[in-house]
Amino acid sequence: MRLAEIVSPLYRFGRQMKLATKFWKQIKTHPMARLVLLSALVGVVAGFGALAFNFILDSSGELFMKRAVGYAIPSPGGEGETRMPEAPARRWLLLVVPAVGGLLSGLLVFSIAPEAEGHGTDAMIDAFHRKRGVVRKRIPFVKTIASALTIGSGGSAGREGPIAQVGSGFGSALATWLKSGDHERRLLLLAGAGAGIGAVFRAPLGGALFAVEVLYREVEFESAALVPTFVASIVSYSIYCALSGKWGAIFRVPEVRFNQPVELLLYLALGVVCALMGMLYVKVFYGVRDQVFRKIPLPRHIKPALGGLGGGVIAYFLPQVLSMGYGWVQLAMDGQLALGLIVTIAFMKILATGLTISSGGSGGVFAPSMVIGGLTGAAVGTVFHRWMPGVVTQPAAFALVGMAGFFAGVAKTPLSSLIMVSEMTTGYGLLAPLMLTTGACYLLTPRKISMYEHQVNRRTDSPAHEGEFVVDILERLQVRDAMAKDAKLTVFRQDTPLAEMLEGFATSKQHIFPVLEDGELLHGIIYFDDVRVFFTERGVPSRAVVAQDLLAASYTVVALEEDLASALRKFRTSRLDELPVVETEGSRRFVGILSRRDVIAAYHDRMYAPPVR
């Protein structure tokens, strides 16, 4: 073999490695390229995490519900067989199994990771705002097992909470391992949450938007996280659907379309009903927690068992409240449920969810919210269909729209709710009613009423953005906006004697004292710290020292039209608490004094001023 035949491949390999190394260095130093690459990695883990969680959840449901209780919970059309189930073979076990699942979940959570209790999305929101995006590494594992035990044993909860914590937990851990800053860690946290939700609900766009919208109660988005959440959600969705074989929508919906404008009034009425139901849902959810379970003098480990027992008692008489409940929405859309049963399930689902999660059980609130909203819509649609069958020809359309409207109100996520429900049902023919109902429900539900307690009102209220908006606001304010109006100031003439100055110093709270020419032109400044010595000197003749003798060697001024950001920089460089104000830049006409307190007060007033109506 000739030497060239050996050297040539080695040379090509070395050249390729050199190019790969150069490419990697460019990736590492380019912020967006690095973020996209890390988001894709988060999406891979979230996709496999969603598969693992679904497998564990299905195994838990098989063990507790099918084998122990002898009850097959119906599935939505896109996830399995949807048919009216037979009565539980061993109904009496419904009094036991949910309690056992709650007990196992409570022991696991409160012994290892207490922050994994309740619905995980709220914990993710809290981590973003107040914990620098940090999630303990054990949380995703504990949350996965605890939620599978809770939901699989019949607890009324959903998958979005646990899978959001699985994805966000890995995003946080990856950023910590790479020694990323808080900003990048927070973005990867959201990318993981959006990826997990987008995969498990087969709604990649809705999952990504939900992660960036759910942080705030007003219609605001964490826009910096849009690209990372999109990338992670696309990757996780593709992996989840490819390996599970489940492509397409979760629900099987008949072809529905909006073609009668008069129906908009009815969809508006649906928005009102969903808003009322949403307020009841939130009040019951947190009322059960605060007024019942927090007052029970038992260890926290035991309380989820009591919640499971309460849910089991309801399920003994109404098994339809068990687990997530998507199958019952599917049956309602298919017209296989009576109106009375639809209404009963909707109200009892509210109570069952409160007992399950508010007691400390582990699971999400998305699925119960969708079920309650879907059944509320189905009930309203059925009533309207009976009243005016020529106008409302498809009650199933109201069930679909009710899911989005209800969740938009209780979660404060109008846009992602609309998109996610459209993806879960392929109900794109109802975009106009969806927009109207979600908007109405969001606006009618008071801002303080939300399923997610750790949401903040807007970006400016988030500790994650503390300080980001200060300069922007100060640049829009001028010194004239902040300076105290009609303040009584102590000023001196050039020939003011020491005795008169000492009297002025003693009666004033100023830190600087302007010295004026002709009553209005700034001649100089006297600093209070420079005259302290004269308060202890007793032998100084009255006319021996005048204001001209005490002038500072240099001083800094601000102008009326100067913005407060510039004034704040002058405060910082001069290390003073007060600065003299002149009429215009370059002018000597004295008009007042600006203090640091004035700047802070002006900023606060602008930030928290009530909206103009």
The per-residue pLDDT for 310 is 93
pLDDT digits (tens, 9 = 90+) for 185-198: 999 999 999 999 99
Domain positions in the chain are 30-244, 263-463, 470-607
Give domain 470-607's CATH architecture: Roll (3.10)
Say if CB 274 and CB 409 are below 8 A apart.
yes
Amino acid, single-letter form, for residue 229: T
Cα–Cα dist 328/117, whole Å: 27
- Lookup result for tokens 């605001």: 220
The per-residue pLDDT for 24 is 57
pLDDT digits (tens, 9 = 90+) for 224-257: 889 999 999 999 999 999 998 888 888 888 777 8
Tallying the residues shown for the chain, one arrives at 613
The domain 30-244 having CATH identifier 1.10.3080.10: the answer here is yes
Q: Where are the beta strands (DSSP E) in 462-510?
A: 492-493
pLDDT digits (tens, 9 = 90+) for 335-365: 899 999 999 999 999 999 999 999 888 888 8
Widest distance between CA atoms in the chain: 109
User: What is the enclosing helix (H) or strand (E) of 370?
Assistant: helix 366-387
Amino acid, single-letter form, for residue 268: L
Say if CB 279 and CB 445 are below 8 A apart.
yes
User: What is the enclosing helix (H) or strand (E) of 581?
Assistant: strand 578-582
Say if CB 162 and CB 364 are below 8 A apart.
yes
Nearest alpha-carbon partner for 237 in 412, 42, 7, 1: 42
Structure tokens at 574: 């001069």
Whether this model's pTM surpasses 0.85:
no
Other Cβ atoms closer than 10 A to 275: 24
Three-state secondary structure call for residue 6: helix
Cα–Cα dist 453/67, whole Å: 37
263-463 and 30-244 share a CATH fold: yes
Say if CB 257 and CB 209 are below 8 A apart.
no
Residue 528 has pLDDT above 90, yes or no: no
Cα–Cα dist 474/481, whole Å: 10
pLDDT digits (tens, 9 = 90+) for 44-75: 999 999 899 989 999 998 999 888 988 888 88
Q: What are phi and psi of 179, to 5 degrees?
A: 60, 40
Q: Are strands 578-582 and 558-559 parallel, antiparallel or unpaired?
A: parallel
pLDDT digits (tens, 9 = 90+) for 557-569: 999 888 888 888 8
Cα–Cα dist 576/555, whole Å: 10
Cα–Cα dist 360/454, whole Å: 17
Say if CB 63 and CB 152 are below 8 A apart.
yes
Q: What does the mean pLDDT of the chain come to?
A: 85
The per-residue pLDDT for 143 is 87
Cα–Cα dist 137/143, whole Å: 11
User: What is the enclosing helix (H) or strand (E) of 501?
Assistant: helix 498-507
Q: What is the CATH number of domain 263-463?
A: 1.10.3080.10
Cα–Cα dist 460/211, whole Å: 18
611 pLDDT band, cuts 50/70/90, is very low
pLDDT digits (tens, 9 = 90+) for 196-210: 999 888 889 999 999
Which residues on neighbouring strands pair with residue 589, listed in sequence order?
521
Using the CB atoms, write b or e for 22-50: b if 16+ within 10 Å.
eeeeeeeeeeeebbbebbbbbbbbbbbbb
Cα–Cα dist 246/254, whole Å: 19
